[in-house]
Amino acid sequence: MKRVITYGTFDLLHYGHINLLKRAKEQGDYLIVALSEDEFNEKCKYKKCYFSYNERKQLLEAIRYVDLVIPEISWSQKIEDVKLYHIDVLVMGSDWEGHFDFMNEYCKVVYFLRTVEISTTQIKNDLNLKGG
């Protein structure tokens, strides 16, 4: 069984996220999503989420491409995750291109282009303009 992992916040879930998850699942048989916990988002990623970790986890678990959701609590856990879950492929968005090349020592690293016309930041900005 070929195992794939990806990492992210997945707040305000949209079709760009679905595109990423679908393409990630096509890389193997079993897709694990490491979902950023709220504290990690706030303290390390400097992001404030609309949905809580548990709400985002519930949404991801309902997607047919996702087999398992685990917590992301630090930048440095990727090597441990790859070893623990016997990962064959790490999938990341192209905005992270090059940042995780060191992981090639442990598994194949694939960077996917983002769905350019949609982003959580864009949605938040649009909602802020409409609500203001």
Tokens of 93: 């968005």
Q: How far apart are the first and last CA of the chain?
A: 50
Closest CA to 3 of 72, 74, 67, 76: 67
Q: For residues 75 and 64, what is the distance between their CA atoms, to the nearest angstrom?
A: 27
47 is catalytic: yes
83 is catalytic: no
Cα-to-chain-centroid distance, residue 32: 9
Residue of 47, 57, 124, 130 marked catalytic: 47
Residue of 2, 45, 48, 83 marked catalytic: 45
- Point out the residues that are catalytic: 45, 47
